[in-house]
Amino acid sequence: MNIPYVTRLAWVVTGLVFVQPALTAIHYENLTMIATALLIGSGFNLSMMSRMWLHAKGVSTLSYFFSDAKLDVTDAQTRYVKYALKVYNVVCGYFLVDGTFNHHTRLCTWIHGVCVLFDHVLKTNLQAICIVVLYYSDGILIKFPMCFRIYYQEEGKRMPWQRHKTWEYKKKYLLAADMLEWALDLGFPGCLVVADSWYGIGPFVKELKRLKLSYVLEIRASYTVKTPCITPKLMPTGRLAKHQIDEIALSPYFTRIARVIRCGFGRYLETGKAAHVLYDLKMATVRLKAIPGKHRLVESLDPTTQSSKYLLTNELTWKATKIVSAYSGRWVIEEFFRNAKQLTDMEGAMLRSEQGVTLSLCLVFWLDFLLHRENHAHCTAGTLSQESLTIPSIVRQAQYAKVKVFVEKVQQYEAFVTRWLDVEKQYLNKTRKVRKELIALEIADGDQLRLFA
């Protein structure tokens, strides 16, 4: 039996003030009640939310708010990003780009479930396979998701809201470029773009150059480096070929480089713990066949697993350790995906409309912003800085505050206890289904059955 909710979290009510002008008073109350329930642990279960609020809001009311209320989600998302830009006074940092894939995370599986009813039963060919997310981080304390785009395959079964509509197909890298351009238009500075190998491709690099953004991208090991020919290439006529260039795969190319930089953590003077090597780095300035322009390329070898990553940047003066440090900032967006799945239980949502899916994803973004803002306030409060807390710690603090308010309410108001018991009494008993007897409905031969089928 769960403890009911008594009041909305104060920092949720004040933190979501940016969206208040776009909502009515009732919708804003519904939004803050849902956000409080998600943070405290109801999961994305509307029935559980209604029960924990002691039926102050019915399931139909909460469902209507998500799916049918007249809300401009795009306007609300723009207000959110402008508010975040104002709160933190962003000067520089990192634009982190990543996506959730069907074979990588259950969050995309959740999107499948809400976009098409009972897809696991009907075995439908779903079209939504990825959510592309843009996330901001200053590399220290300031972190928040900015926007997202749902990627649809060019061919396949349409979503319910796509039918009878003209739908423009865009590749994932174009969706990412659109979000970056949207962020720059809203006033964000030109931050360093960090992305994994799904975006380490020539067309995406061209878009980043068009936007005049620096980048650190992981690229695939199958790419090749252009190098001058050791022996001259001749045409069939015997004349020298115009392009005297060889192509070498990345791994053989870096075996030619003898200089290795060992990167890791230094020796701890306080504990006497020895230095720990994380990566063996090799660096070169190259031209790739698949990606235009001159770049600085780093091979990062993990001595433990003997696996390599190849990191590409257009900053030709950076050292190898700086490039690897910048790319390691990607853990922030991975943490965001983990929190979205574990803390808000996105897989449990059962919303089946375009507005419901979009608004629920926006709500996850806003909650992540509020949690990191609480951590930022905790670390910067007072004259002495405090240690940064984990996001689950902030959630546990909210749950503890809920328990304190609940105890005070129980001690002061007997009517509240009576109401709580009345609500819980409704969920005590659940009757079993009546077992029906199987009977023969019709007797026929095999030919008649095949004709009927």
pLDDT per residue as tens, the chain (453 positions): 678 888 888 899 999 999 988 888 898 898 899 888 888 877 777 888 888 888 888 888 888 887 777 778 888 889 999 999 999 988 889 999 998 754 434 444 444 444 333 333 333 333 445 788 999 999 888 999 999 887 776 665 555 555 666 666 788 899 999 999 999 999 999 999 999 998 999 999 999 999 999 999 999 999 999 888 877 777 787 787 777 778 899 999 999 888 888 888 777 666 767 777 888 899 999 999 999 999 999 999 888 888 899 999 999 999 999 999 999 989 899 888 888 777 665 554 445 566 777 787 888 889 889 999 988 888 887 655 678 888 888 888 888 888 888 888 888 888 888 888 888 888 788 777 788 888 877 666 656 555 545
Q: Measured between alpha carbons, how far is 216 from 192 in angstroms, rounded to an integer?
A: 7
Q: Measured between alpha carbons, how far is 345 from 110 in angstroms, rounded to an integer?
A: 10
Q: Measured between alpha carbons, how far is 426 from 2 in angstroms, rounded to an integer?
A: 14
Other CB atoms within a 10 A radius of the CB of residue 420 amount to 18
Residue 10 gets which letter from DSSP? H
pTM of the shown model: 0.81
Tell me what pLDDT residue 207 has. Answer: 95
Tell me what pLDDT residue 114 has. Answer: 43
What's the start-to-end Cα distance of the chain, in Å?
49
Identity at 348, one-letter amino acid code: G
Q: Residue count of the chain, please give it.
A: 453
Contact (Cβ atoms closer than 8 angstroms) between residue 144 and residue 191: no
Tell me what pLDDT residue 115 has. Answer: 39
Tell me what pLDDT residue 241 has. Answer: 74
Q: Which residues have CB under 8 Å from 320's CB, separation 6+?
A: 261, 263, 281, 282, 283, 298
Q: Measured between alpha carbons, how far is 88 from 107 in angstroms, rounded to an integer?
A: 29
